[in-house]
């Protein structure tokens, strides 16, 4: 005698108990961010790796410079929805085009101090005047990636106010681990 067990309905995967998705404005129009609905989904390939040689892939501090505010996914989602905050993917273009957080702009860490004018700073005789600097949130590949911390420290040295910088340390690895929407080439 065989017993047939009915298939269980898959549980919905929300961002919070009350929020299934958020919509953010991107350069190509509105983009919905949600979590992958497959309850059996796992991270594979490079994003599933837990160990990389240090240096160069050493664990980064939660606060890369005094005055910088660390944030999590919910705060980053709020930043993506705010017209007052610019979310910056500070990775090199190859990483950005392979997949990024919807609504993020690519400003590679190697170019940050040259591009601070895009964030409200103005060039003056002594370097940058950042009295009108925008709030920004930077991220890179994950807790072991030094691109955002390097960009943040360089920005502050060039005159960007630390209290206007937010750091999403989990980066793309944390974003993908939670099954959140990724946009771009190899998403």
The pLDDT score that the predictor gives to residue 51 is 85
**Boundaries of every domain in the chain:** 58-177
CATH for the 58-177 domain, from 3.30.300.30, 3.40.250.10, 3.40.50.150, 3.40.640.10: 3.40.250.10
The pLDDT score that the predictor gives to residue 8 is 47
Classify 171 in phi/psi space as left (phi over 0), alpha (psi -120 to 50) or beta: left
DSSP state of 11: P
The pLDDT score that the predictor gives to residue 43 is 86
The pLDDT score that the predictor gives to residue 6 is 45
The pLDDT score that the predictor gives to residue 187 is 52
The pLDDT score that the predictor gives to residue 45 is 81
Please give the chain's pLDDT, 187 residues, in tens. 444 444 445 689 999 999 999 999 998 999 999 999 999 988 888 888 888 899 989 999 999 999 999 999 999 999 999 999 999 999 999 999 999 999 999 999 999 999 999 999 999 988 999 999 999 999 999 999 999 999 999 999 999 999 999 999 999 999 999 999 999 865 5
Asked about 58 being catalytic, the answer comes back as no
Q: Which of 140, 133, 165, 169 is nearest to 67 (CA)?
A: 165
- What distance in Å separates the CA atoms of residue 108 and residue 141, rounded to the nearest whole number? 12
The pLDDT score that the predictor gives to residue 7 is 45
Q: Which of 139, 99, 90 is nearest to 118 (CA)?
A: 90
For residue 88, the SS3 value is: strand
The pLDDT score that the predictor gives to residue 47 is 82
**Of 121, 130, 140, 145, which one is the catalytic site residue?**
140
């Amino acid at each position: 005698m065989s017993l047939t067990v009915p298939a269980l309905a898959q549980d919905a995967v929300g961002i919070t108990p009350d929020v299934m998705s958020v919509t953010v404005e991107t350069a190509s129009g509105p983009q919905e961010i949600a979590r992958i609905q497959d309850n059996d989904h796992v991270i594979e390939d490079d994003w599933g790796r837990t160990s990389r040689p240090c240096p160069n892939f050493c664990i980064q501090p939660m606060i890369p410079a005094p005055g910088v505010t660390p944030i999590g996914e919910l705060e980053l989602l709020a930043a993506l929805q705010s017209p007052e905050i610019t979310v910056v993917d500070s990775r090199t273009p190859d990483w950005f085009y392979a997949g990024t957080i919807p609504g993020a702009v690519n400003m590679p860490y190697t170019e940050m101090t040259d591009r601070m004018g895009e964030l409200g700073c103005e060039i003056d005789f002594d370097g940058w005047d950042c009295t009108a600097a925008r709030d920004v949130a930077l991220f890179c590949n994950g807790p072991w990636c030094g691109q955002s911390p390097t960009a943040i420290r360089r920005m502050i040295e060039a005159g960007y106010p630390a209290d206007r910088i937010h750091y999403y340390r989990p980066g793309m690895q944390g974003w993908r681990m939670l099954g959140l929407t990724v946009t771009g080439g190899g998403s």
